[in-house]
Amino acid sequence: MRIICVGISHKTAGVETRERVAFDPVGVERGLADIDARWPQAEAAILSTCNRTEVYIARAVHGYPREHELRQWLGDFHDTDATSLDNSLYTLTDAEAVRHLLEVTAGLDSLVVGESQITGQVREAYAIAVRAGTARSIMNLLFQSALGCAKHVRGHTQFGSSCRSVASLAIDVAAESLGDLTGTCVLSVGAGKMNHLMIRRLGDLGVASVTITNRSGERARQLAEQCGGQAIDWSCLPQWLSRADILVTSTASDWPVITRSMLAEAIPSRNGRPLVLVDIAVPRDIEPEAASLPGVKLFDIDTLERLLSAKAAPDATQQAAAEKIIRQQADSALKRLSIRQVAPTIGAMYQYMRRIADEELDTAIEKLATHDDTEEDQRIIRRALRRTIRRILHPAVTNLRRDSADNASAAHIAALRQLFGLDDGEEDIK
């Protein structure tokens, strides 16, 4: 079995490249369905966040898709030139892929190292793959190991205990542009979990009011009730650009929901008041050209990456403790994966041997039923057992003799001697 991860992250590409291959939840479902249709024998899961897109595959050693086919698929699915992604994509296999997923899930590979938001995102990616039927025995073990490892890290270390989310730290960075937030008006475009986290942090900083708009009016109303704000209809967004002091956004839109022209129309009625925009969506919700408008300060995920690195440095001792747990858990997961992979072969070997033994026993019983000679009975049973042994070993002996001139034969011989313990007591085989 091979495990493959093809991905792109904040460490390998800017947001302009990452957003080209980002998946929303519906896109993840479509992507998994397409992979399953193309390569039905493979298992698959897709993790897509504001900082990364990663496709995980488990397939037979000589199965499909191969690494280059998966990279090509990622480009084709998003109607983008796969070769243009070559410098940004990474490919990890087997042990590297397993450990990477554990590191990602525990927050070691996050933009804000140690943040716990990623664990929930991995859990959701796994749940979607389970519903799609593309997470079976190997993916189940892999993702359950990753989620269990993250829980173990949180429970046995202080890693990330004082670390906030990307959303809340993004607000801290943006708030520095306005200074005292007392009396300010916040507009949230989107009503998801990241919006909730940003609003909650703004509340801690003393903003006066929060207004929420979302394509789903019901979700906007629900979030407004939770945070003590007000919900407005999506069609009111342009006019509220004139009133807000801070705009935060994180939607699942495939294109910008706030354009430069929308903001430009709102600028004159703002009477010179500054407007801070915080966009942590991938793909981006705000056109990057909006940053050139007078009085507008735009923080997108790329800008925040540069600014957050100094604010979110984890404790070195606790990070080392987390890394040690991840190494141990990755080794354990790999062992369990190995056992699971070899189990069908072991079962097939037992069935093969039992079939031969049963056939020889049936023949021996027929012969034993024809006379009462004990010595002859013993000879019949002895011959039946020897025939059983010869029949069981015949395929292995034939293949070893056939491959005796091949360099691989030495490895086969060593493996057989180890598997059957032939060197333990130096038994003679007669």
Q: Which residue from 299, 305, 270, 268 is spatially nearest to 286, judged by alpha carbons?
A: 299
Work out the pLDDT band at 153, boundaries 50, 70, 90.
very high
Check residue 295 and give its pLDDT.
92
Range in 76-90, 126-140, 336-350, 389-403 with the lowest mean pLDDT: 336-350
Q: 311 and 162 in contact (C-beta within 8 Å)?
A: no
What is the three-class DSSP state of 112?
A: coil
Q: Residue 84 and residue 82: Cα distance in Å, rounded?
A: 5
pLDDT higher for 355 or 218? 218
What mean pLDDT is predicted for residues 241-262?
93
The CA-to-CA distance between both ends of the chain, in Å, stands at 37
What mean pLDDT is predicted for residues 117-128?
95
Q: How many CB atoms lie within 10 A of CB 148?
A: 15
Catalytic member of 5, 50, 149, 163? 50
Q: Residue 95 and residue 44: Cα distance in Å, rounded?
A: 17
Check residue 189 and give its pLDDT.
96
Work out the pLDDT band at 427, boundaries 50, 70, 90.
very low
Handedness of CA 123, 125, 126, 131 (dihedral sign): positive
Q: 205 and 175 in contact (C-beta within 8 Å)?
A: yes
Exposed/middle/buried for 58, CB within 10 Å: 0-12, 13-18, 19+? Answer: buried
Given the structure tokens 């475009």, which residue do they identify?
A: 189
Radius of gyration of the chain measured on its C-alpha atoms: 30
Check residue 344 and give its pLDDT.
67
Q: Which residue from 78, 72, 41, 79 is spatially nearest to 57, judged by alpha carbons?
A: 41
Render pLDDT for 199-239 as a digit per residue (tens, 0 to 9): 999 999 999 999 999 999 999 999 999 999 999 999 999 99
Q: In what order do the strands lie in the sheet with 209-213?
A: 230-232, 209-213, 185-189, 246-249, 275-279, 296-299
Spell out the domain ranges in the chain.
2-163, 166-303, 344-419
* DSSP string computed for 278-342: EE--SS-SB-GGGGGSTTEEEE-HHHHHHHHTTT-PPPHHHHHHHHHHHHHHHHHHHHHHHHHHH
Q: Which residue from 207, 157, 164 is spatially nearest to 182, judged by alpha carbons?
A: 207
Tell whether the model's pLDDT for residue 428 goes beyond 60.
Answer: no
Work out the pLDDT band at 424, boundaries 50, 70, 90.
low
Q: Is 0.85 topped by the overall pTM?
A: no
φ/ψ of 164, rounded to 5, equals -90, 180
Check residue 220 and give its pLDDT.
94
Q: How many CB atoms lie within 10 A of CB 222?
A: 15
In the annotation, is 227 catalytic?
no
For a pLDDT cut of 90, what percent of the chain falls above it? 60
Render pLDDT for 265-290 as a digit per residue (tens, 0 to 9): 999 999 889 999 999 999 999 999 99
Q: Residue 90 and residue 71: Cα distance in Å, rounded?
A: 9
One-letter amino acid for residue 17 of the chain: T
What is the three-class DSSP state of 223?
A: helix
pLDDT higher for 319 or 416? 319
Q: Which CATH class is domain 2-163?
A: alpha beta
Q: How many CB atoms lie within 10 A of CB 20?
A: 21
- Is domain 166-303 in CATH 3.40.50.150, yes or no? no
Render pLDDT for 304-326 as a digit per residue (tens, 0 to 9): 887 776 666 667 888 899 999 99
Check residue 52 and give its pLDDT.
95
Check residue 430 and give its pLDDT.
39
Mean pLDDT of the chain: 88
Tell whether the model's pLDDT for residue 426 goes beyond 80.
Answer: no
Check residue 342 and give its pLDDT.
65
What mean pLDDT is predicted for residues 416-422?
72
Eight-class DSSP state of 229: -
One-letter amino acid for residue 86 of the chain: D
CB within 8 Å of 312: residues ≥ 6 apart: 111, 112, 113, 114, 115, 163, 169
Q: Residue 284 and residue 260: Cα distance in Å, rounded?
A: 13
Q: 359 and 392 in contact (C-beta within 8 Å)?
A: no
